[in-house]
A and B are shown apart, each in its own frame.
Chain A
Amino acid sequence: MADTVQFDLVSPERLLASVEAKEVQIPGSEGDMTAMPDHAPLITTLRPGVLKVSGTDGDKEYVVTGGFAEINESSISVLAEQAVPRDEISQEQFKAMVDDATDRLAKAQETYVNEPGPVDDAAKLLADMVAMGDEIGLSAN
């Protein structure tokens, strides 16, 4: 059994990381999960949160706002909508993300008056975003 797995983090604009990792903690939409080498094939959606990578050359953390992860025995690919290394994220950037989520909630409330589904989704997105802010020590306001 291989003790590392190829980990790639990509956002639409660039490839952020491509390293050998020992384990990756992924903020899945159904809960956090830690993927290690020889994980069963899985595709999951992400919620806003912190992605933690334990690589062969140290640990790294990234803030992601959503997207997908594809996991199989030998590779983990995270396709983030937006991804920023945790130590590079600024209060303004985070504020912009929160504002975006707030807008989305307002828009969902407007469009889907009698359908709770999309509104709840948007509300959850915002709540996740705020919770992520607490985790990385940035305030949502």
Chain B
Amino acid sequence: MPSLKDLKTRIESVKSTRKITKAMQMVAAAKLRRAQDSAEQSRPYAERFGHVMSKLAASVGDSESAPKLLRGTGSDQTHLLVVMTAERGLCGGFNTNIAKLARAEAEKLKAEGKTVKILTVGKKGRDSLKRDYADHFVEHVDLSGVRNVGYSDAQGVAQGILDRFDAGEFDVAKLFFSQFQNVVTQIPTMQQIIPADVSSDADGGDDAFYDFEPDEEAILTQLLPRGVATAVFSGLLENGASEQGARMSAMDNATRNAGEMIDKLTIQFNRSRQAVITNELIEIISGAEAL
């Protein structure tokens, strides 16, 4: 049975924990709004981009001259997994879920006899994957100094990926991030970025014949690298919103748990105090009776 003093200290410490988690929840809520805004603002671009891309891809088709970024290298031996996670923890299963998805994919590819390379963005993903896949790591991009992710950050990441592709280091690149659904649901997602996956955007209804200026291939060579940057950028923004959402609900849970804990401890504290008082009374009464 803990003493009254012990109980009191514990209640105090849980109370201050509750204050911290409450504050973190509120900060996450404020940041979530901003992150969600920027994720939404970037959607029109990504949508139209996909549209233009599918038009071009449909027009170029599978011709020999199509750029490698669209057609692939003709092999799928080496896979690059780009795993994007948060820089900080304390956000529930957010980082773990992304890492879990990436790990499952890596295992699957390894079982098929493929070579796996891993590039991480965000410290948490690196930490959790490094343990099992240290020798598959090729690079870690550090964005911890960046407060608001801008397109130029995404371009930097994308450029790194493209340089490796040009150097022939891998054949297929996949992006791992968390799609923001709402505060309680974030869906870990895998998206293939190289070769560009345009099949999902193919809308059969609109088959107007487009002119191209300059020709299709010249546009494609400009468009495809940007497609990678756009995919990375929207991944980063979705991740940003997901992270704050996940943190918000994790901290909400933590605050609630702390509250329950305080209630429980307070009851225990009151009981013990009552026990002490009763004890003292018994001592006094029995002392008086003995006289």
Enumerate chain A interface residues (CB-CB to B < 8 A): 8, 10-15, 28-30, 40-45, 68, 70, 72-73, 77, 79, 81
Contact = CB atoms under 8 A, between A and B. Distances in A.
Interface in B143-158: 150-151, 154
Contacts of A42: 210-213
Contact of A29 (B52, B209, B211, B214): B214
A13 B42 contact: yes
Contacts of B150: 13
B219 A45 contact: yes
A44 B212 contact: yes
Contact of A13 (B55, B151, B209): B151
A72 B212 CA distance: 12
Contact residues on B (Cβ < 8 Å of other chain), bracket: 20 to 34
Given A13-B150, A30-B213, A45 B45 contact: no
Contact of A15 (B44, B151, B214): B44
Contacts of B209: 41
Nearest to B216: A43
B52 A14 contact: no
B137 to A, nearest CB: 26
A72 B208 contact: yes
Given A43-B55, A45-B218, A70-B48, A81 B41 contact: no
Given A10-B45, A13-B41, A41-B209, 18 more contacts: A11-B45, A12-B154, A13-B45, A15-B44, A30-B213, A41-B210, A42-B211, A43-B212, A43-B219, A44-B219, A68-B52, A68-B219, A68-B222, A70-B51, A70-B52, A72-B210, A73-B208, A81-B226
A40 B212 CA distance: 11
B56 interface: yes
B230 interface: yes
B7 interface: no
Nearest to B208: A41
Given A8-B48, A40-B211, A41-B209, A15 B55 contact: no
B41 A45 contact: no
Interface in B217-240: 218-219, 222-223, 226, 229-230, 233
Contacts of B48: 8, 10, 70, 77, 79
20 contacts: A11-B45, A11-B151, A12-B46, A12-B151, A12-B154, A12-B233, A13-B45, A15-B41, A40-B211, A41-B209, A41-B210, A42-B212, A43-B55, A43-B56, A43-B213, A45-B218, A73-B208, A77-B51, A77-B52, A79-B45
Contacts of A45: 213-214, 218-219, 222
Nearest to A14: B41
Contacts of A73: 208
A45 B44 CA distance: 18
Interface string B55-67: 1100000000000
B122 to A, nearest CB: 20
A5 to B, nearest CB: 14
Contacts of A11: 45, 151
Contact of A14 (B42, B208, B211, B226): B42
Contacts of A28: 213
Contacts of B223: 68
B35 to A, nearest CB: 13
The 3 A-B residue pairs with the shortest CB-CB distance, nearest first, are: A44-B213, A14-B41, A12-B151
A11 B41 CA distance: 9
Contacts of B49: 79
B143 to A, nearest CB: 16
Interface string B24-45: 0000000000000010011011
